[in-house]
Amino acid sequence: MSNYNWCHNPDCHKIETQSRVRGSGDNKVLRTIKINTDRQWNKDTIWDYFCNNNCLFSFLNKFRQEVANIRPVNKPSETPIQVEKTKYESHRYKWTDSGTERVPYQATRTTISLKNS
């Protein structure tokens, strides 16, 4: 027996796709997508609760205030870093009448690393 969830987008069953059609004859319905939570490719992720990106973002948009209230952010967070700039020889190509010409120049590489605390 497999474990499953129903897609949590409250409007999942209003999206017109063949995969949602259930029933027979004149008793057909569009049904919320059933998600098998035993599959391995994305086990223990948000995809245990939403059948696709559209349903995830519809849910987030509809319940944005409630989602934000789960963990309010009232001030920015900061991560101490070190910024190191190093010069290195690079080149660019310049168009000429006979094709391209390799032109050297000194480039700058910026490396950001986390400060050891």
| Six-digit token string for 88 | 């290195």
Out of 1, 10, 12, 19, the residue judged to bind Zn ion by CB under 5 A? 12
Residue 65 CB, nearest distance to Zn ion (Å)? Answer: 21
Query: Secondary structure of 24-36 in the HEC alphabet?
Result: CCCCCEECCCEEE
Is residue 35 a contact residue for Zn ion (CB under 5 A)? no
Cα(80)–Cα(82) distance, integer angstroms: 7
Is residue 55 a contact residue for Zn ion (CB under 5 A)? yes
DSSP β-bridge partners for residue 20? none
Out of 33, 35, 58, 59, the residue judged to bind Zn ion by CB under 5 A? 33
The interface region with Zn ion, picked from 17-25, 40-48, 50-58, 96-104 by CB under 5 A, is: 50-58
Cα(50)–Cα(15) distance, integer angstroms: 13
Is residue 51 a contact residue for Zn ion (CB under 5 A)? yes
Cα(63)–Cα(6) distance, integer angstroms: 17
Residue 67 CB, nearest distance to Zn ion (Å)? Answer: 17
Give the binding site for Zn ion (CB under 5 A): 7, 9, 12, 33, 51, 55
